[in-house]
Chain A
Amino acid sequence: MGQGMGLDRDAIRPDWAVLIVAVSARGDRAAFAELFAFFAPRIKSFMLRSGESEVQAEELAQEAMLMVWRKAALFDPAGASASAWIFTIARNLRIDAKRRTRRESALVAGDVDDEFHIDEAPLPDARLAETQTEANVRNALAQLPPDQLRVVEMSFFQDRPHAEIADALKIPLGTVKSRLRLAMRRLRSLLGEET
């Protein structure tokens, strides 16, 4: 089908932000199913790579998609990208799940959300910088050398990033630390910030 247009269909993804807005505006179930088909298996993959069991990863992926439905009205299309917004939902659920398995408290996921909420009063230029972030970050990530990108990516899945990444990539710990530091510095400078 896609070939007729001279386009690689695989490369075209729906505009996730539009689908989230459709869920928010009119409880659009078809839009939700489309979001589910793409994100649920990736959230499950994220949870498995984060060390969750198969059962837990499945449950958290379903729970995260339920949150996408419930919180759709909080999604700001002018702010973070859809995938970043869904990432934060999955991240917060994982933190909450870890606390619950340790039976440390009866907190619910909403508390974790509060812990990431900053009452911001940014200056006008800072606000601008924050909304420009998505495109800039894509560019910045694309400009990182592959070995640095690899350690950045892996740092999302490990609680003790340095040692475990060194193990997985079979490179010395010092190399991991310097690659991560270089990558993060580079990211920060590519985003036009002072270092």
Chain B
Amino acid sequence: MSIAHHPSEALLAAYGAGRLDAGEHIAIATHLLACAQCRAFVRAVEQAGGSVLAELTPVPLSADALASVEARLQQAPERFSPAKAPPHQKMAGLPRFVQTYPFDEWRSVAPALQARTIRLPHASLARVFLLKAGPGTRLLEHTHSGVEMTCVLEGGFSHKDGHFGPGDFDFGDSSVDHRPLIDDGVDCVCLVAMRGRLDINGILGRLIQPFVRL
């Protein structure tokens, strides 16, 4: 199984620089869990960060800075024990730190469409939720007033940019008019980080409105 759709270099760079919104960070981290190629690129961004840091013009600290840090070095460097036991997996394919967050129950938002909100422990411009769509469902034609990042966890879908399977990353904004068709045979589950409103064209739009305000 190979991954065909990756986040843009600019998004990966913003992730590595620590500049992404918390919710969008989760969408990228979910893709990175599945994609060694993008992990290598993020390592590269961090290396670039190291080079940038090393070349900065130094700004002196207060005269007693080293002494005051040394005063806090009472104990020896920590010995780190192996990582704690993984938390109960709520959903395969999600990074470990996301599994520790509270998840709401699944709720129906439209025929053959369910959503499950992930409660983030700190403010985020993007809302993060799991979206599950039944086999063969044609999702509504929609555009975005903000940006929407999607990472496939199970199953797959297609729209005019191609087919998206597990690990694939899809980015939508106001310039994109999506009308995804869910694969036959299995449910499709995605993690979605969404900013702004979803503008839905079509009759089912009204049905789905409560969902977009979730």
Contact = CB atoms under 8 A, between A and B. Distances in A.
Contact of B58 (A23, A42, A87, A185): A42
A156 B40 contact: no
Interface string B31-48: 011001101110110111
Contacts of B56: 42, 45-46, 49
A115 B61 contact: no
A24 to B, nearest CB: 6
A73 B68 contact: no
Contacts of B19: 155, 158-159, 161
A20 to B, nearest CB: 10
Interface string B59-85: 111100110111011001111100000
A66 B73 contact: yes
Contacts of B95: 115, 117-119
A193 B43 contact: no
B176 interface: no
Interface residues of B: mostly helix, strand, loop or mixed? Answer: helix
Contacts of A73: 77-80
A83 interface: yes
B65 A122 contact: no
Interface stretch (B10-18, B110-118, B134-142, B144-152): B10-18
Given A61-B61, A70-B78, A140 B49 contact: no
B49 A156 contact: yes
A83 B39 CA distance: 18
A90 B40 contact: no
A152 B53 CA distance: 13
A50 to B, nearest CB: 9
Nearest to B38: A193
**B interface, how many residues as a size bin?**
35 or more
B25 interface: yes
B96 A87 contact: no
B50 interface: yes
B18 A133 contact: no
A40 interface: yes
Contacts of B207: none
30 contacts: A36-B65, A37-B66, A39-B53, A41-B59, A41-B61, A42-B56, A45-B56, A58-B62, A65-B69, A66-B72, A70-B77, A72-B77, A73-B79, A80-B47, A83-B50, A87-B50, A102-B122, A102-B123, A105-B121, A105-B122, A107-B121, A119-B33, A120-B39, A129-B40, A152-B48, A180-B10, A180-B13, A181-B8, A187-B48, A188-B41
Given A66-B72, A102-B122, A138-B51, 18 more contacts: A36-B65, A36-B69, A37-B66, A41-B59, A41-B60, A70-B77, A71-B78, A90-B53, A99-B122, A104-B123, A115-B29, A126-B37, A152-B13, A152-B48, A153-B52, A184-B8, A187-B44, A191-B40
